[in-house]
A and B are shown apart, each in its own frame.
Chain A
Amino acid sequence: MWGMPTPPKVPVEERLFSLVLALLATEHGLTKSDILSTVQGYRQRYAHGGDNTALERQFERDKDDIRELGVPLETVAEPGQTDNQQLRYRIPKSAYELPADVHFTPEELTLLGLAARVWREGSLSADSRRAILKLAAHGELDPVIGLAPRLHTRERAFEPLSRALERRAIVTFPYLKPGESEARVRRVRPLSLVQHDGRWYLGAFDDDAGGERTFLLSRISGDVTVTAHTFPGDDVDHARATLDDLQRLWDQNVARVTVEPGSDAEVRLRHRAEVEDGALTIHYVDTNVLADELAAYGPEVLVLSPPRLRDAVIDRLRAAVERHDEARPDHEAAHG
């Protein structure tokens, strides 16, 4: 490569921006060699009649980056054409632009700004940050005074699972089912991520169980592996369906408990319970998850019904006593 002048360095965003502009401007599409030889950021590095493998790989990555932003970069093939080099690329304006009838009122923009900022921590913050930039083109995103709600996606599993959802890739992960103390590896087709009553769930089709199941993200006890196996999509609104299932369980399951007057349990459970005949009624999704929570209140709560919940709470209290009354762990290792 001696004697070749070093091409001037074009910043990534300039190359990507130029690619989007060129593909928006073309009606019939540009071939890969059109793009590499003429578009700003590629043309500087294009070898006429030479080897452009590295540049082609760059183009492939750029296409992915652009599509990830929601830009509809299309491939057009002429009928009967088999040569990859003759594929044409373009971005149809109608699919790129927001539909003409989609407008946001100032009140809606304020709400959307609040909704986007809900994600300011965690895995979705890159998407919400870009959503805020796009919204800003429509008007002012005034912050709402005195309000800072936040959704955490602190669970480690969130990020790989949302990636798998986009790709429709099968995942595996160890799962510590509520009420059990050993994790078991699951292999599932992820269908939705939902938060119900403050807890994140994965809705998925479990091949081994032969049906749809929900998994608590906080109970995924190790790394999520996104496999290369994909599965076909459908047009079911899985997020809505999972949320509806959880809500149905929540409506059905009712616990009756009594609380010590003036206790922590009384103050806190009252915020989400109804009072009936001197007892509190609490709706819940999963017996084991509520049992964990109620066991924490120790003597401040007495579970009246259902019996399964009552037994689950007693089991936990017993286990806590046994574990700390008899076991004699060596303290040295704890500090080692």
Chain B
Amino acid sequence: MAEQQLRGQDKLTLLLTLVPYLVERGRVGVAEAAEHFGVTPEQLREAVTLIAVSGVPGQTRQYQPDDLFDIAWDSFEEDDEIELTHLVALDETPRFSAPEAAALIAGLQYVQALPENAERPAITALMSKLARGSSGTPSPLAVGGGRPDATLGVVREAIEAGRRLEFDYRSSRGESSRRTIDPLRIDSLDRDWYVRGWDHAREASRTFRIDRMSEVRVGDEPATEASRRVRVPDHLFEPSPDDVEVDVEVPAGALALLGGFVDSQARIVEHDGRLRLTLRLAHHRVLGPLASRLAGVLTVLGPPEARRAVVEWAQAGLRRYDDDPAT
């Protein structure tokens, strides 16, 4: 958040929480406080300067010196350190708003999916504490269901122990191979979990879907020091020069069903109330599954080999049922 512009409400929140933090800390350096709140030193200095000249109208309604906050100006200006020397009206931390409390509670429910948190009673207690610390009933927001994937526990164990991770991986191209990686980070997007790691055989950092991994074990060797310094990019998917382009059509409004397949730069053309666009895919192989999943809504327009891939896939699926008539 450090590089972000703060909006009015965010700035006010910073002011209201900075005061009790400073009361608690006594004297603290600007750099340390800025890092603590995830803002730039400049943004923090601005906030401190504002607090130092703020206060209440007071008896005289003229904002007399005694009605204002004060700081140790010399240490602020010379040593870049903050110390509040006079307080007015405010010294405790504010409650959470209902949506803030809801965001935290729902976030905790999601984090509970991690194997190490699954049975933690602390999380339930924490949720009720948040509800009590909210200024209104937390917004009706909740996350749950599904079951934690046991593989996740093994991956987490390898990361914590600083060891390598070994597993069979089946790529989206349908190729299987044994991999050895230094696991760096677990990522997730809703129901899908990923692990990023340094792939020793390929000498590159790679992303693996947890549900494409099998025969997973923590390796005997430690993860190498070099791999720890690999910067993990924040985006999960990177386009590849091997991608193929396919033209498709969906009813207006069904676009969201294509989810991650739609590039943010994709050009979408309306045609008779339907939308036409070009998808970038790793391989024509993924089209059969995609068009079968969205059979009621998606039409692949071309190229012809893409349409053929869909027909072959779906026909092969139907043959399974012809060979196995329902009893």
A320 touches B314 (CB 8 A): yes
Is A134 an interface residue when CB atoms closer than 8 A count as contact? yes
**Residue B64 is within 8 A (CB to CB) of chain A in the complex:** no
Q: Report whether A243 and B189 are in contact in the complex, using a CB–CB cutoff of 8 Å.
A: no
**Does B204 belong to the interface (CB within 8 Å)?**
no
Set B13, B98, B117, B140: member contacting A192, Cβ < 8 A: B140
Q: Is A238 an interface residue (CB 8 A)?
A: yes
Bound Cα distance A277, B217 (Å): 26
The distance from the CB of A182 to the nearest CB of chain B, in whole angstroms, is 8
Cβ of A95 within 8 Å of any chain B Cβ, yes or no, is: yes
Our pick among B10, B107, B288 for the contact of A133 (Cβ within 8 Å) is B10
Q: Which chain A positions have C-beta within 8 A of B92?
A: 93, 96-98
Known: A218-B256, A321-B318. A179 touches B296 (CB 8 A): yes
Tell me if A279 is interfacial: C-beta within 8 Å of chain B.
no
Contact B292 A298 (CB under 8 A): yes
Given B54, B300, B324, which contacts A18 in the complex, CB threshold below 8 Å? B54
CA distance A324 to B299 in the complex (A): 7
Is B95 a contact of A98 with CB atoms below 8 Å? yes
Assuming the contacts A25-B56, A324-B307, asked whether A149 and B111 have C-beta atoms less than 8 A apart, the reply is: yes
Most buried by A among B61, B122, B188, B290: B188
Q: Mark A315-335, 1 if CB is under 8 A from B, else 0.
A: 111111101110101010111
Min C-beta distance of A5 to chain B, whole Å: 19
Which residue of A145, A222, A295 is within 8 Å of B293 (Cβ)?
A295
Is B185 an interface residue when CB atoms closer than 8 A count as contact?
Answer: yes
Question: What's the minimum C-beta distance from B205 to chain A, rounded to whole angstroms?
Answer: 14
Q: How far is the CB of A126 from chain B (nearest CB, A)?
A: 8
Query: Which one of A50-58, A77-85, A111-119, A206-214 is at the B interface?
Result: A111-119
Q: Among A240, A267, A319, which residue has its beta carbon within 8 angstroms of that of B295? A: A319
Interface size on A, residues (CB 8 A): 136
Q: A108-B126, A133-B37 are in contact. Are A70 and B104 (CB under 8 A)?
A: no
Picked from A40, A137, A270, the residue with its CB within 8 Å of the CB of B63 is A40
Give the residue of B57, B289, B291, B301 whose beta carbon is less than 8 angstroms from that of A334: B301
A260: nearest chain-B partner, CB-CB: B320
**Contact residues in B for A267 (Cβ distance below 8 Å):** 170, 211-214
For the complex formed, measure the closest distance between the CB of A230 and the CB atoms of chain B, giving whole angstroms: 15
Measured in the bound complex, the distance between the Cα atoms of B145 and A246 in whole Å is 8
A148 CB contacts on chain B under 8 angstroms: 185-188
Q: Which single residue of chain B is at the shortest CB-CB distance from A156?
A: B256
Among the listed B89, B100, B105, B144, which residue makes an inter-chain contact with A130, where contact means beta carbons less than 8 Å apart? B100
Chain A interface, >50% SS class = helix
Q: Does B94 contact A (CB under 8 A)?
A: yes
| Residue A155 lies at the interface, judged by CB distance under 8 Å to chain B | yes
Residues in A whose Cβ lies below 8 Å from that of B24? 137
In the complex, chain B residues whose CB is within 8 Å of the CB of A297:
289, 317
With the chains together, A147 CA to B256 CA distance in Å? 28
Q: Within B296-327, which residues are at the interface with A (CB < 8 Å)? A: 296-297, 299-302, 307, 310-311, 313-321, 324, 326
Query: Of B145, B151, B254, B256, which is within 8 A of A197 by CB?
Result: B145
Contact mask A89-112 → B, CB, 8 Å, 1/0? 000010111110010100110011
B229 within 8 Å of A by Cβ?
A: no
Q: Are A320 and B144 in contact (CB under 8 A)?
A: no
Sorted nearest first, the 7 A-B pairs with minimum C-beta distance are: A198-B191, A70-B97, A221-B253, A115-B107, A196-B145, A239-B142, A197-B146
Query: Beyond the given A118-B107, A267-B213, A327-B299, could you list 14 further A-B residue pairs with CB under 8 A, ordered by the A residue number?
Result: A12-B8, A13-B11, A14-B50, A17-B51, A65-B8, A69-B12, A98-B92, A98-B94, A133-B37, A145-B159, A149-B186, A192-B140, A271-B211, A297-B289
Chain B interface residues toward A at CB < 8 A: 1, 8-18, 20-21, 24, 36-38, 50-51, 54-57, 61, 63, 88-90, 92-108, 110-111, 113-114, 117, 122-123, 126, 129, 132-137, 139-147, 149, 151, 156, 159-160, 170, 174, 176, 183-192, 210-214, 247, 249, 251-254, 256-257, 259, 269, 271, 276, 288-297, 299-302, 307, 310-311, 313-321, 324, 326
Interface residues of A (CB under 8 A from B): 11-14, 16-18, 20-22, 24-25, 38-40, 65-66, 68-72, 93, 95-99, 102, 104, 107-108, 111-112, 114-119, 124, 126-134, 136-138, 140, 145-152, 154-156, 162, 165-166, 174, 176, 179-181, 183, 191-199, 203, 218-222, 235, 237-240, 242-243, 246-247, 250, 262, 264, 267-268, 270-272, 292-293, 295-299, 301-302, 307, 310, 313-321, 323-325, 327, 329, 331, 333-336
